[in-house]
Amino acid sequence: MGLREGASENAVVVKDLLEDLVARGIRPGRRRLFVIDGSKALRQGIEAVYGADNPVQRCRRHKERNVLGYLPKDEQARMRAVLKAAWRLPAAQGEARLEKEAQALERDHPSAAASLREGLAEMFTVNRLGLPAPLSRCLGSTNVIESSFSGARSKTRRVTHWQDGVMALRWAAASLVATEKNFRRLQGHKLLWMLKAYLDEPDHEKLAEKRSVG
């Protein structure tokens, strides 16, 4: 939907990208679900351009890789199972379970504990919205866009000399358009009307969380 030359951790690049989306019609004024990786600049940009009322889901695949990267190999399988089990729970219960896990990690693996706690609440946004399982699985990570990037990389990997930034943007756009031909329907696409209904009801998130706790 938009291309900019630069890193996702660059606040100027991120703000410029989001403001370009606004100029092309994706305007503030209605709630949207943003599914992002761990970029702090992207998170801040969403709030600055679109407002703080939009729910944000942190990518679970990125979080899993980050946490496991701080653990020895013999502990990674157990942690992966803990994460996947927690993500199936109602939001409050899942957050409490991972906080308990972080406390257990603090002494021997403090970096893993800190990574687990970082953005903890936003790992459970799809749970808090009460989305059905097919949508939760799909919207719980950035796999959809990562697949697009993978297709674009495969079409540009043989380019060894980039003349300038204009060429890079042109090739990126062309490769994404070519990759689009292989797109499949979003998992749970027939249930997207439910996501829209949730986003159109400002208090739905709070009500869903109360029901899950009760």
* Residues above pLDDT 90, as percent of the chain: 49
Read off the pLDDT of each residue in 116-126 and give the average, rounded to a whole number.
95
pTM equals 0.81
Note the pLDDT of residue 107. 94
pLDDT tens readout for residues 14-72: 888 899 899 988 899 899 999 998 888 899 999 999 999 999 999 999 999 999 999 99
12, two tokens: 């100027």
Residues 6+ apart with CB under 8 A from 12: 6
Read off the pLDDT of each residue in 207-212 and give the average, rounded to a whole number.
54
**pLDDT above 70 for 204:** no
Residue with tokens 């946004």: 125
Note the pLDDT of residue 213. 52
Residue with tokens 């297709």: 151
Residue with tokens 């009322």: 53
pLDDT band at 162 (very low <50, low <70, confident <90, very high): confident
Q: What gap in Å lies between CA 148 and CA 172, rounded to an integer? A: 11
The dihedral built from the CA positions of residue 129, 135, 141 and 145, taken in this order, carries a sign that is: negative
In the chain, the largest separation of any two C-alpha atoms, in whole Å, equals 60
21, two tokens: 């989306």
Question: From the centroid of its chain, how far is CA 43?
Answer: 10
Read off the pLDDT of each residue in 74-101 and give the average, rounded to a whole number.
96
Note the pLDDT of residue 28. 92
**pLDDT above 90 for 186:** no
| H/E run at residue 41 | helix 40-50
Contacts 24+ apart (CB under 8 A), 181-184: 182/151, 183/148
